[in-house]
């Protein structure tokens, strides 16, 4: 491996090699091939996604002796000068507006711009961080851009295109660069590892791509660091997790499975591990939020992995499909919202163990929330218990009674489902007040015999266990239950 940073070694020298920006590079290549080149360009987009590299490639393509061309020949003097890590060319000037607003440079530039290029076809100015141009410099440049000499080209690069003064922006062709999709980044990183002859585990590759957050430069920097610290077996998942501070997938499995089982001890044990290992609680919650997001997608689209919506190794996908089936859809949305609020609450302050534990407490206790989502999460659980896994389809819940009077308007959807609940669980079989009054599980079967109208429980009815979390929806059952017997008489 060379001592040069990876992102410099693998900086693209032609548009075809720019990663993940085809929506920009393809039209640019067409414009070059058809010789419809404008005199001023604006490249905008997040940092590290290829703006400056593309500006240099455009300059190289324009000044190639066989050009202007969409494929610089790579042989002529201009191409060699302007190659990535090449010495540069006197006719291609790079200016950084961030340094001093470019006031002096712009005046100087205005004087020099009228002279013809020394050895190339065009004189090209690449102005980086162009949104930081001071008003004086911008006005000096504006004169040139309004009436440019034929040999002059401008390429502005910026992360904030809306801060460029309108009179300049409106005279440019604007090409917005985007964050690079994780999958594209992953392929690029895998290719680099091949070139470097370093083995890397696919799971580690996925982590690096995720850590790059859409920036090729960031991702390649991280990969360079991992390769530098890799042993004989190359870049392993364990190495990447430890160095990047991500939460191990096994830890997330433990937490999610514990939440689905209401197992507080395991959840707090995981919190203990996170804090003991010196991890950032915010990082842990962010990873947990991503996990819930994946589960929401899996819940809605069980074929998500096969269809490429989720990028997961097969065994992890299998485990997560089981996890997703343990939650109802509104359950998952509520959990994700709680974690999201927790992350927001931690912003600005030093996140503490206490904050993390409070979030976990809310995750474990849907019954503690009297919001609509809390009620829905509890109904999800009841429905899954009744139907053996799958929530009731909405069509199975016709409402016979005229008005759900005591229930608030916003809860009408909930009350319909409560009515369906009452139908499969008739009042004679399980009086609404019974579970709350029953202290122990073994006491529950004795309740029907004590009731005024004993009836055989139907086969699919599962009696409510008197957990504090689950018996509360019983109060929702009361109003429809009163109108129920004529609608669904027992055989």
Q: In angstroms, give the least distance from the CB of 51 to Zn ion.
A: 22
Cα 437 from Cα 444, distance rounded (Å): 10
CA dist list (Å): 246 to 184, 201, 204, 207, 240? 21, 16, 11, 8, 8
Residue placing its CB nearer to Zn ion in the complex, 60 or 384: 60
Residues of this chain that interact with Zn ion (CB under 5 A) are: 64, 72-73, 76, 79
String of DSSP letters for 463-474: PPP--HHHHTTH
Q: In angstroms, give the least distance from the CB of 113 to Zn ion.
A: 24
Q: Where are the alpha helices (DSSP H) in 64-134?
A: 77-81, 97-100, 103-112
Q: Where are the alpha helices (DSSP H) in 64-212?
A: 77-81, 97-100, 103-112, 135-146, 166-169, 182-196, 202-212
The DSSP letter of residue 369 is: -
Q: In angstroms, give the least distance from the CB of 77 to Zn ion.
A: 8
Residue placing its CB nearer to Zn ion in the complex, 75 or 371: 75
Q: In angstroms, give the least distance from the CB of 9 to Zn ion.
A: 21
Residue placing its CB nearer to Zn ion in the complex, 117 or 451: 117
Question: Residue 256, Cα to own-chain centre: how many angstroms?
Answer: 19
Contact 376, 387 (CB under 8 A): no
Q: In angstroms, give the least distance from the CB of 64 to Zn ion.
A: 3
Closest CA to 371 of 340, 399, 421, 330: 330
Contact 471, 435 (CB under 8 A): yes
Residue placing its CB nearer to Zn ion in the complex, 65 or 201: 65
Q: In angstroms, give the least distance from the CB of 87 to Zn ion.
A: 15
Q: In angstroms, give the least distance from the CB of 66 to Zn ion.
A: 5
Contact 185, 219 (CB under 8 A): yes
Residue placing its CB nearer to Zn ion in the complex, 73 or 358: 73
Count of C-beta atoms within a 10 Å radius of residue 409: 7
- Mention every residue, 6+ apart, whose C-beta is less than 8 A from residue 396: 420
Tokens matching residue 281: 């609680």
Residue placing its CB nearer to Zn ion in the complex, 64 or 223: 64
Count of C-beta atoms within a 10 Å radius of residue 95: 18
Residue placing its CB nearer to Zn ion in the complex, 62 or 106: 62
Q: In angstroms, give the least distance from the CB of 10 to Zn ion.
A: 21
Residue placing its CB nearer to Zn ion in the complex, 64 or 285: 64
């Amino acid at each position: 491996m060379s001592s040069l940073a990876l992102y410099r070694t693998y900086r693209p020298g032609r548009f075809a090699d720019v990663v993940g920006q085809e929506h920009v590079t393809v039209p640019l290549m067409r414009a070059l091939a058809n010789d419809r080149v404008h005199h001023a360009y604006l490249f905008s987009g997040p940092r590290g996604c290829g703006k400056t590299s593309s500006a240099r490639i455009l300059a190289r393509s324009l000044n190639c002796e066989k050009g202007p061309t969409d494929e610089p020949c790579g042989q002529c003097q201009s191409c060699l000068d302007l190659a990535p890590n090449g010495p540069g060319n006197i006719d291609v000037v790079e200016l950084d507006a961030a340094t001093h607003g470019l006031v002096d440079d712009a005046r100087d530039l205005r004087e020099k711009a009228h002279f013809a290029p020394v050895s190339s076809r065009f004189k090209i100015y690449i102005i980086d961080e162009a949104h930081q141009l001071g008003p004086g410099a911008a006005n000096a440049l504006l004169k040139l851009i309004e009436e440019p000499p034929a040999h002059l080209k401008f390429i502005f690069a910026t992360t904030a295109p809306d801060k460029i003064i309108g009179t300049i922006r409106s005279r440019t062709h604007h090409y917005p660069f985007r964050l690079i999709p994780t999958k594209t980044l992953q392929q690029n990183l895998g290719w680099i590892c091949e070139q470097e002859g370093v083995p890397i585990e696919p799971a580690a590759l996925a982590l690096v791509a995720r850590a790059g957050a859409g920036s090729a430069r960031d991702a390649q920097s991280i990969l360079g660091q991992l390769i530098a610290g890799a042993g004989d077996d190359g870049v392993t998942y364990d190495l990447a997790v430890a160095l990047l501070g991500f939460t191990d997938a096994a830890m997330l499995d433990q937490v999610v499975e514990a939440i689905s089982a209401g197992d507080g001890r395991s959840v707090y044990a995981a919190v203990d591990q996170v804090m003991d290992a010196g991890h950032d609680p915010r990082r842990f919650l962010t990873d947990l939020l991503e996990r819930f997001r994946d589960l929401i997608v899996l819940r809605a689209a069980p074929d998500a992995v096969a269809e490429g919506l989720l990028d997961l190794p097969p065994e992890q996908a299998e485990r997560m499909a089981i996890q997703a089936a343990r939650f109802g859809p509104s359950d998952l949305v509520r959990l994700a919202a709680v974690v999201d609020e927790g992350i927001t609450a931690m912003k600005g302050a030093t996140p503490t163990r206490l904050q993390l534990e409070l979030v976990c407490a809310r995750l474990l206790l849907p019954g503690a929330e009297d919001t609509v989502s809390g009620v829905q999460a509890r109904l999800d659980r009841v429905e899954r218990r009744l139907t053996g896994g799958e929530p009731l389809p909405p069509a199975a819940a016709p409402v016979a009674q005229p008005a759900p009077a005591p229930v608030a308007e916003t809860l009408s959807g909930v009350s319909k489902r409560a009515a369906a609940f009452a139908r499969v669980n008739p009042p004679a079989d399980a009086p609404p007040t019974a579970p709350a009054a029953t202290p122990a599980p073994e006491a529950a079967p004795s309740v029907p015999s004590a009731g005024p109208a004993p009836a055989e429980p139907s086969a699919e009815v599962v009696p409510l266990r008197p957990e504090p979390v689950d018996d509360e929806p019983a109060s929702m059952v009361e109003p429809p239950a009163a109108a129920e017997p004529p609608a669904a008489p027992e055989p």
